[in-house]
Amino acid sequence: MHGSTLVGLFLLALAIPGLASNPPPDAAVDPSAEIKTLAPKVVVKSGRLEWEAHKRDLTPWVTLSHEDRRPTPKPRRVDLNGQLNGDAERGRTIAMSTLKGGCVNCHTLPGEDWPGSVGHLLMSYRKRGNSDAHVYQQIFDPRVFNPNTVMPAFGTFGLLNDQEIRDLVAYLQSLN
Ligand code: HEC
């Protein structure tokens, strides 16, 4: 093999997390075990977890959460400035798209046969009578209302921009 190819392969190995580096110190791993990765097992009525060998060694696939040390942005309170100016049709596309909002992964919305059930039913959402500003805040950063929510802070985390959130608000408020 040509020397520069070897150097290239070496650099590639460095670039792929887990190939060249050891698992991060906080990964659930027992380096001496044959199958290194540990899986949690709930000890009933004890409030404790026990760790047992996972079925497969998953250490080559270190997750982003292990590698990414950036602090989580703090919950952000926002005001909806000016007119809503949202487009309900665009909002619907964002809500249904797994590449964008993906709201149907957790919420039931009209026209989706296989919605998630972690969040509320959002059918007939308009009937709740929430203000546009409230719904905008809920999508921008729901942690303002519930610090332990599993709903992503779409605005604060930069997943959706201001206009996309306005479109979603217009869409939800159009659901009679
Ligand atoms: C990972 C799951 C998840 C995703 C994805 C998600 N949500 Fe939620 N959502 C929740 C949960 C759970 C709640 C219940 C309240 C809470 O825990 O914050 C909620 C609450 C809400 C509410 C308040 C409901 C009410 O009764 O007023 C709205 C509105 C909402 N979500 C809209 C959205 C929109 C729009 C999207 C997509 C951009 C979205 N959600 C994506 C989980 C999710």
34-81: pLDDT as tens digits: 999 999 999 999 989 999 999 999 888 877 777 788 889 999 999 999
Which residue puts its alpha carbon closest to atom 13 of ligand 1? 119
Average pLDDT over residues 157-175: 97
On whether residue 80 sits in a domain, the answer given is no
Rounded CA gap, 60 and 19, in Å? Answer: 6
- Same domain for 152 and 93: yes
Rounded CA gap, 45 and 11, in Å? Answer: 49
- Same domain for 96 and 165: yes
Tokens coding 111: 């026209």
- Same domain for 94 and 166: yes
- Same domain for 168 and 115: yes
On whether residue 57 sits in a domain, the answer given is yes
- Same domain for 61 and 96: no
Bridge partners (DSSP) listed for residue 86: none
Give the three-class secondary structure for 171. helix
Q: Is the CB of 138 under 6 A from ligand 1?
A: yes
The contacts found for 118-123 with CB under 8 angstroms, 24 or more apart, are 118/150, 119/151, 122/172, 122/175, 123/175
- Same domain for 106 and 63: no
Closest listed residue to residue 80, CA positions, set 140, 126, 125, 122:
140
For the chain, the maximum distance between any two Cα atoms, rounded to a whole number of angstroms, is 69
Domain hosting residue 20, numbered range:
3-67
Give the whole-number percent of the chain exceeding pLDDT 70: 88
Q: Is the CB of 109 under 6 A from ligand 1?
A: no
On whether residue 22 sits in a domain, the answer given is yes
- Same domain for 50 and 20: yes
- Same domain for 102 and 63: no
Q: Is the CB of 106 under 6 A from ligand 1?
A: yes
Average pLDDT over residues 155-170: 97
- Same domain for 59 and 115: no
- Same domain for 155 and 100: yes
Which residue puts its alpha carbon closest to atom 5 of ligand 1? 103
Q: Is the CB of 142 under 6 A from ligand 1?
A: yes
Q: What is the pTM of this model?
A: 0.75
- As for how many domains the chain has, the answer is 2
Average pLDDT, the chain: 88
On whether residue 25 sits in a domain, the answer given is yes
Which residue puts its alpha carbon closest to atom 20 of ligand 1? 119
Spacing, Cα 118 to ligand 1 middle (Å): 8
- Same domain for 117 and 164: yes
pLDDT bucket at 28, cuts 50 / 70 / 90: confident
- Residue 5 pLDDT > 80, yes or no? no
On whether residue 73 sits in a domain, the answer given is no
- Same domain for 104 and 43: no
17 versus 107: the higher-pLDDT residue is 107
